[in-house]
Amino acid sequence: MTQDWRRDAAIYQIYPRSFQDSNGDGIGDLQGIRERLPYVASLGVDAIWISPFVRSPMKDFGYDVEDYCAIEPMFGDLTVFDALLADAHELGLKVLMDQVWNHTSDQHPWFRESRENRDNPKADWYVWQDPALDGGPPNNWRATFGGSAWQFDDIRRQYYLHNFLDSQPDLNWYNPQVRQAILQVGRFWLDRGVDGFRLDVINFLAYDRSLADNPERPPDVPRPAGAGHTDPYFERINRGTVCRPETLEMLGDIRQMADDYPGTVLLGEISSAEDSLADAADYVRDGRLHLAYNASLISDEPFTAIGLHNLLTRTLELFPHHQLCWTFGTHDFPRLKGRWIRSSQHEAILEQRLDVLLISLLVGLPGACCIYQGDELGLTQAQLTFEDLRDPYGIANWPNLHGRDGCRTPMPWQATLPHGGFSQARSSWLPMPAEHLPLAVDRQQGEAGSLLNTYRRMLLWRRHMPALRGGETKLFSPQGNVLIFERGDGENRILCIYNFAPEPATLDLSTLPDANSCYKLCEEVSPEARLNAQALQLPAFGVSFLFA
């Protein structure tokens, strides 16, 4: 059993704009999060990750930072944050802040000074380049949100790099002064008592200083995991800005800062990588970050036993110390049920079983896991009109891509209240989908078999199972569409078995390597499952955990 909470943490992601509005302006805030902390603690998670709430013009809803060390007034102030932090710790919850260190807002004082001229003290704090010979951008690099990654500035008469919105200029991480300034930001929050950081697009820090063009994607080279099929950003292989080897060298100072605060966690987002698993492994190797997450479980296709077996095989090779944080989605991806379950067109009872299978998979996998707010309720992807959209990415790419608003709609707390109890305002920043109201917390709270209470039961069970909190993982060959692996060591071993087929399956346990005659059910996940001698009968999308 691991003694390091970071290696097997269950982390709950909160998108503050959509969690709970406490002051009636239609936007969630820190006081709202504070009021709902007992609910989060009841889930059995170890930590919360709160998406950005620092000072921002909100062009990208907080991921465009104007002041790293001040709270955006619409969310509250430092007094409220300190109270939230104290309450979370009292409830046994760690608190992770989202830190956006790749870029700032163009309203940040650093950028305002940098753009004044070419020889001021911060002139080299951002990535500036002269125009190409034809007066255009320096190369063909694209921004993830569409268009060129370069924006011409009329004041400096140069282009600046922006991997996201043109209002989000990239910091120049090759400049040691920039690195020191960012470390001061980290220490400011760690000194206040936060328990770590989720590091936004941490694999974008460096860029290719030769400025070579990005090559077009060959027809036989698939798009990265999680990449949209029609997203023009992935028409090229973005080697000039994504997962540069220089970025790995820049992580040492960040890790040293974290090590000065024992128990602190660094969770890195590895975004848009060509090989999401291999690249994520680089970021946790050799004492860099503690954990990394990527899009390896964020798929538009139904999971299969053989597909997951192959994924786990690679994961165990690349992450021998279980430093991968598994997730089915975040605020950046369509909700899981919008990607898979809706497209599967299974009848309602099978969808319910599939919901249970997925949380059972998340708690059984080796490593940490992250749960996005509302997934524990089974929320579907909201289908919004163009007029409802607020996400600049969705607005710019409509109708080919619908953006991220569909997974950011407000949390439904009480089914019969306006806006589902999220807000008392006349209107909220995004609408409450009518189909989410029957899934509200108050509707599921008292139902023993609800998905919400299944999440609670599974997460709390995981917390008290030594075999699932460290130890080895042994993979067995799939039987049909049944995934099988074993967790734990010595006498603390659990066999994790998942039927990914929409029909029943029977598993012959005697065919497993090192099979014994003493298997017994240790958690009733699928009540219809039957264990008779060496035969395990699983219903469609059934799950069993057996003491081995």
From CA 136, how far away is CA 152, in angstroms rounded? Answer: 9
* Rounded distance between C-alpha atoms, residue 17 and residue 428, angstroms: 10
* Contact status, residue 200 vs residue 157, Cβ threshold 8 Å: no
As to burial, measured by CB atoms within 10 angstroms (0-12 exposed, 13-18 middle, 19+ buried), residue 181 is middle
**Which pLDDT value is given to residue 342?**
45
Burial of 141 (0-12, 13-18, 19+ CB in 10 A): buried
Report how far residue 55's alpha carbon sits from residue 530's, in angstroms, rounded to the nearest whole number: 55
Partner residues linked to 14 by β-bridges: 50
pLDDT at 548: 82
Residue-level pLDDT at 325: 96
Q: What is the rounded distance in angstroms from the CA atom of residue 11 to the CA atom of residue 17?
A: 18
Asked if the 5-104+176-463 domain carries CATH number 3.40.50.1110, the reply is no
Write phi, then psi, for 513 (nearest 5 degrees).
-55, 140
3-state helix, strand, coil in the chain (%, to 5): 30, 20, 50
CA angle centred on 492, ends 486 and 495, rounded to 5°: 25
Which tokens in the block code for residue 485?
């692996």
Domain ranges of the chain: 5-104+176-463, 105-172, 472-547
How many residues are there in the chain? 548
Tokens 């699983």, residue?
538
Structural class in CATH, domain 472-547: mainly beta
Report the distance separating Cα 99 and Cα 21, nearest Å: 23
Q: Are 94 and 265 in contact (CB under 8 A)?
A: yes
Q: How far is CA 65 from the centre of its chain?
A: 19
Task: Name the burial class of residue 302, with classes exposed (0-12), middle (13-18) and buried (19+) by CB atoms within 10 angstroms of its CB.
Answer: middle
Of 60, 200, 274, 486, the active-site residue reads 200
Annotation says 472 is catalytic = no
Residue 340: the pLDDT is: 57
> Which stretches of the chain score pLDDT less than 50?
1-2, 342-345
216 flagged as catalytic: no
Give the active site residue among 66, 170, 269, 282: 269
Q: Kindly report the pTM of this predicted structure.
A: 0.96
Note the CATH number of domain 105-172: 3.90.400.10
pLDDT score, position 196: 98
Q: How far is CA 520 from CA 37, 446, 523, 531, in A?
A: 36, 30, 9, 8
